[in-house]
Amino acid sequence: MQMEELQKEVNNPALGKAGRLKALSYLESKANDPSRLFDRSSAEINNHIHTIYSFSPYSPSMAAFLARNAGLGAAGSVDHDSIAAADEMLAACAVLGIGGCVGFEVRVSFKTGPEGKAGPFAARKLNNPDSSGYAYMTVQGIPSQSIAAATEFLEPLRAERLRRSRAMVVSTNDLLREAGLPEIDFDRDVYGGSKYGEGGGITERHLLAAMAEKIILKYGKGSLLAEGLKEKFGVIVSPKLTSLLSDPGNPHYLYDLLGILKAEFLPRVFIQPDEKECVPAEKVTAFAGSISAIPAYAYLGDVGESPTGDKKAEKFEDDYIEELFAELSRLKFLALTYMPPRNTKEQLRNLRKLAAQWGFMEISGVDINSSRQSFNCPEVLLDDFRHLLDTTWALIAHERLASVDKRYGLFSENNPLASMDLPERLEAYAGFGKKFDLYYPNESAANAAAEIDKGRV
């Protein structure tokens, strides 16, 4: 079988996890390229890669493969409302000999404050462009024995989002019908285009992808499409994006069109979620603590030009960032996750200062959900942010050690290293992570646990 065919199997949503991993193992055995070895002190990392279990062109196996081929030393899956990628992602990273970690992303409510009163951010926009009082957060470093509990926790949230997505199709179809375009069949075009039946999540991007397909069906791929968006929907496409949509051979056509629809069309059909779907933040941080995972606030910051083209220039948390950190501490967040390419150096330096002040771990990653995005994040190699490499290896060590026993979790009160302050613990765990045999991380973690018990840190 040719390499190209093998890569298609690695990324085949219909093949199943076992089949994709088998294809990846065979592909890797054929490559046998020693130049792919990396220096863990300098290789880039990404802890926030979306997969087909939320919205992405990549299976977990392919995400790990592309991350490694881009020179990354570690990769982590984070899907919306889903942990379904976890087992495959960890196995794929082990096949490739890179660090692997897993988590999930959810939207949560900040509407309630102490004593049941309205919270300080109940009517403020945080990191969510679509809603006030609701924010994105991640739960990362989930131990293997806790994946089943995470799946169960997420089930009602997935169901609520499914219900709301179905309702949004009704208003979307009204607009499509008025424009003379084919309507969306939710079960076939939205649900059928997702991995919901295998534990995946459904997002607004699944709806917009279905809409994009109907627009392409009507106008084809070419200059007529941008004209149709303007005539039928009043969407003015920028010259740059008009040029991209005018090229039928554009390999990222669907994702470029989807980005336009997310920024310009989604507000017309968006239905606000409620607290059945976006549960109170403290419920998620408490759950994360119960499974020895790490709850992290996902900083967005004021947006200038969006790297993915799906966010308008807009202000978010920066005007009240210090007040926000106080609230995050009250809600028992333990970490801050952010995406260096989205932010200015000034924003990132301020985040680092606040994280140290409030005792938060820092986790870096870029949410890969488009074929146009690069897996690389060279910002983490700048002197000011190289510490994010170490925190990634600490996250990987935490996840594997907590899989041996929860008391080895970074933030466990029963951790033998609990007397260390957080920077010292992070340094110790980063040291363990860098020494793991990444082809056999579980065995390495068991050895590291024995070293901790003997006081050899």
Q: Is-contact 119 112, C-beta < 8 A?
A: yes
Q: Measured between alpha carbons, how far is 400 from 387 in angstroms, rounded to an integer? A: 20
Q: Is-contact 94 64, C-beta < 8 A?
A: no
Greatest Cα-to-Cα distance within the chain, rounded to the nearest angstrom: 72
Location of structure tokens 């190209």: 4
pLDDT at 33: 61
Chain centroid, CA 148 distance in Å: 19
Q: At what angle do helices 204-219 and 253-264 cross, to 10 degrees?
A: 110
Query: How many CA atoms lie within 13 Å of 166's alpha carbon, on the beta-carbon side?
Result: 10
pLDDT at 2: 81
Strands (E), 97-210: 99-109, 134-140
Q: At what angle do helices 204-219 and 147-178 cross, to 10 degrees?
A: 40
Q: Closest Cα partner for 428 from 439, 413, 417?
A: 417
pLDDT at 311: 53
Looking at residue 313, the DSSP 8-state letter turns out to be: S
Domain ranges of the chain: 156-269, 386-457
pLDDT at 42: 79
pLDDT at 456: 77
Q: Measured between alpha carbons, how far is 33 from 123 in angstroms, rounded to an integer? A: 54
**Where does 314-386 have alpha helices with state H?**
321-330, 345-358
Q: Measured between alpha carbons, how far is 419 from 148 in angstroms, rounded to an integer? A: 31
Low-confidence ranges of the chain (pLDDT < 70): 1, 32-37, 305-312
Q: In sequence order, what are the beta bridge partners of 252?
A: none
